[in-house]
């Protein structure tokens, strides 16, 4: 009889622990979903702005905001419930990380970055992704725009360990920090 009570108590404790773990995991995923949507929403605010009318410090503020939010969104995407929705092919990156790498690969000294960040279509697709991340159409359209930008501005990706890197990424990274 003691074994029965012991097993019953162990079962109840195990069920309580499992339900706590499940609830905790659900809360974390919910938090990350909200954080992802917020990062994408703040990123889309940085697109479509006429940067020629801004002074250098304000332009740098918006660029850093855009880079940091895209970086955060691309890193937490795999932990959200939207991880399997994005337009992702085998051995390629998702649309958010590709956009991030595309932007940091453009040199600040040339006009490519200004032409890319003023595009209204990127703003629209990011806005719709922040509202409805489950809709695969917007992910696919964003990827098409990115591919068009790669061809138009001749940004050549190099594949290394299933991550797209660009030829001048380290130089640009140093320019952003400095």
pLDDT in tens, 89-129: 443 457 888 888 878 777 554 567 777 766 788 888 888 98
* Segment 124-146 mean pLDDT: 86
| pTM beyond 0.85 | no
Distance of CA 75 to the CA centre of its chain: 6
CA distance from start to end of the chain: 72
pLDDT value for 160: 35
Q: Give 163's DSSP letter.
A: E
- Long-range contacts, stretch 133-142, CB < 8 angstroms, 24+ apart: 133/33, 133/36, 133/37, 133/40, 133/80, 133/82, 133/85, 134/82, 134/85, 135/85, 136/85, 136/86, 136/87, 139/85, 139/86, 139/87, 139/94, 139/95, 140/87, 142/87, 142/95, 142/99
pLDDT value for 51: 79
pLDDT value for 173: 45
| More confident site: 23 or 56 | 23
Residue 23 has pLDDT above 90, yes or no: yes
pLDDT value for 19: 92
Residue 175 has pLDDT above 50, yes or no: no
98 contacts 70 by C-beta, under 8 angstroms: no
In 48-111, where does DSSP find H-type helix? 56-76, 95-105
Q: Which of 37, 38, 18 is nearest to 26 (CA)?
A: 18
Residue 178 has pLDDT above 50, yes or no: no
């Amino acid at each position: 009889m003691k074994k029965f009570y012991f097993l019953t108590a162990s079962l109840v404790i195990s069920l309580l622990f499992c339900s706590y773990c499940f609830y905790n995991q659900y809360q974390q995923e919910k938090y990350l979903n909200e954080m992802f949507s917020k990062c994408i929403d703040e990123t889309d605010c940085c697109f479509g702005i006429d940067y020629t009318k801004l002074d250098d410090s304000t332009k740098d503020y918006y660029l850093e905001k855009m880079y940091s939010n895209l970086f955060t969104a691309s890193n937490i995407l795999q932990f959200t419930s939207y991880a399997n929705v994005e337009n992702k092919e085998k051995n390629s990156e998702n649309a958010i990380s590709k956009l991030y790498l595309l932007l940091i690969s453009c040199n600040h000294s040339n006009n490519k970055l200004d032409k890319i960040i003023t595009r209204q279509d990127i703003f629209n697709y990011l806005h719709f992704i922040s509202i409805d991340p489950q809709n695969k159409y917007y992910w696919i359209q964003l990827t098409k725009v990115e591919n068009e930008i790669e061809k138009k501005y001749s940004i050549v990706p190099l594949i290394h360990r299933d991550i797209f890197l660009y030829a001048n990424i380290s130089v640009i990274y140093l320019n952003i920090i400095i």
